[in-house]
Amino acid sequence: MNLSNLSRPPQSLSATRQDDTRALGESIGLRETSEQAEDEVMQNGTFTQAILNSIAASVVVLDRDGTIVAVNESWRRFGLETEMESGKLVPGTEVGANYFAANGIGCCVEASAGIHAVLTGHSPNFSVEYPCHSPLQQRWFRVNAMPLGQLARAGVVITHTDITERKLAEDKLRIVAIATECQDGILVMDANLKILWVNRAFTQITGFPEQEAVGRTIAILRKNLRPASLYEGVWKEIERAGTWKGETVWQRQESGEEYHVRITLTKVQDKPAQVTHYVGHFTDTTLSQQQEAQRLFNEAAYRKTLVREVHHRIKNNLQGITGILRQFAEQYPETTEPINQAIGQVKSISVIHGLLGRAVASSVRLCELTGAIAEEIQDLWQTQIVMDIPHAWLPCVIAEEEAVPIALVLNELILNAVKHGGKAHGNVEITLRKGAGAGVVQLKIVNSGQLLRDQRQSGTLHNGLQLVEALMPRVGASISRDQLGDLVVTMVQLEPPVIFPELETST
């Protein structure tokens, strides 16, 4: 018997080992009823080895002690590849080594226990699937253990079958199943933006059936975007940054119904940085947008009601204060002028609260505020003030946080015009006109009188106008004062973000 190709050293084989080798011949399908045929198999180790090598799976044969007595070429190749990937010598892969002492190649604890059970006769066979990842790749194997022939404790034949491809395919199927049932729309495109796959939610959100979307380019979605010009900008950003995220208004393909959708588009690249795919993620946010809009509407309505009530009470309290100041001025006539000036400031604030407390408006118009303050000063100082507002005037509203400061500024400027010219000559005019730029309004106050010389040269505000300088907004407002003959012209220019056309606030 020549078993040199199956085990080491062949000279030491005992009768039991010969029985094992016979069983090996039986296990690989070379069963013969005659002794002569069996001897031929036993003597022809080369033939047996050739059959082992023809098996695609990695095969290793153990004797009753767990010593490796035969392996095939696939087993050796697997061991060599593992050594190359790990950079370390893998022990226990050749004939003569103890399979269990070396723990096999990637053999898990469960596999070792199962093989032992077959080898000791406690189990007729054993099979398990297990991961065996290398530093360079993910791998899975199925190990099968069968007794060597029909003799108890004769040995065991172990096959390791690479099932990595099947496992990866199963994982892909699971991912596709999850993506298919996902509540958000998903589409996958190739490098040329041709749609390869969409899930059901994509159809529900966009209105494009799968059969209409697959095979066409993403350009079919262009007409659904609002605005349509967004399409070009999206792809420019993806090419630059690799992804784009945004929320836009979408128009459903069939019904034309508009709804909100949040979109994420991502570029997928391989290791050489070549684009392989694009992935789109669509989330219907219509309901959340509607709920948020309703919440904001309810909050705004409640706030308006509350604010109007607060402004109404503040106005009444301020009017009470002005009444007390008037009584004080009557008792002490020498304080009339400073008291009236204080009353004017209080009334200018009172005007703001009166306008804000109206039932139909939540914003203060510049023209109404100017007219109300001018009327209060006219009554207080018994001086006529002429208002000039064009008939076809588009009202502008004042930003809420700037309303009180602008009211105090207008009060000081108009009061200054009355005190330093208008009161003596009865000549105060206020004009509202559109400025040169969009949204710009010029408010001009003209009165008789003379500016101080250094005031014209330096532009410094004097005569009690330091308050105006302190209250003027730093952005969106400017003031200038010039002498035109016997007239002093004060020009106040306002623009966003201090004022806005009323139509903008209603949208």
At 337 the pLDDT is 82
> Which DSSP state fits 12?
G
| Burial of residue 287 (number of CB atoms within 10 Å: 0-12, 13-18, 19+) | exposed
Are 209 and 227 contacting, i.e. CB atoms less than 8 angstroms apart?
no
Name the more confident of 367 and 317: 367
Q: What gap in Å lies between CA 464 and CA 1, rounded to an integer?
A: 125
| Confidence bin at 431 (pLDDT 50/70/90) | very high
Q: Among 79-88, 134-143, 227-236, 417-426, whose mean pLDDT is lowest?
A: 79-88
Domains, the chain, with CATH or none: 10-165 (3.30.450.20), 182-280 (3.30.450.20), 386-403+411-507 (3.30.565.10)
pLDDT band at 344 (very low <50, low <70, confident <90, very high): confident
Mean pLDDT value of segment 395-406? 88
**Residue 238, CA distances (Å) to 111, 136, 234 in order:** 49, 31, 6
Q: What is the mean pLDDT of residues 391-409?
A: 87
- As a whole-number percent, the residues of the chain with pLDDT over 70 amount to 76
Q: Is 411 exposed, middle or buried (0-12, 13-18, 19+ CB in 10 A)?
A: buried
User: For residues 98 and 95, what is the distance between their CA atoms, to the nearest angstrom?
Assistant: 9
- For residue 233, pLDDT over 60 is answered with yes
> How many percent of the chain have pLDDT more than 90?
13
Q: What is the pLDDT of residue 361?
A: 52
pLDDT at residue 22, as a whole number: 53
Say if residue 205's pLDDT is above 90: no
H or E element at residue 478:
strand 477-484
Cα 424 to Cα 450: distance, rounded to the nearest angstrom: 13
pLDDT > 50? residue 33: no
Residue scoring higher pLDDT (444 or 232):
444
Predicted pLDDT of residue 254: 60
Q: For residue 491, what pLDDT is reported? A: 95
Q: At residue 354, does pLDDT exceed 60?
A: yes
**Order of strands, edge to edge, in the sheet holding 155-162?**
68-71, 58-63, 155-162, 140-147, 126-131
Lowest mean pLDDT among 79-88, 400-409, 412-421: 79-88
Compute the average pLDDT of residues 348-369.
74
What does the pLDDT read at residue 490? Answer: 94
Residue 11 pLDDT grade (very low, low, confident, very high; cuts 50, 70, 90): very low
The overall average pLDDT reported for the chain is 78
d(CA 73, CA 117): 26
* Residues 422 and 447 sit within 8 Å (Cβ to Cβ): yes
Which run of H or E residues covers position 423?
helix 423-425
Q: How much is the pTM?
A: 0.40
Q: Encode pLDDT of 445-495 as tens digits.
A: 999 888 876 554 444 444 457 778 888 899 999 999 999 988 999 999 999
Question: 98 - beta bridge partners?
Answer: 67
Say what the pLDDT of residue 432 is. Answer: 95
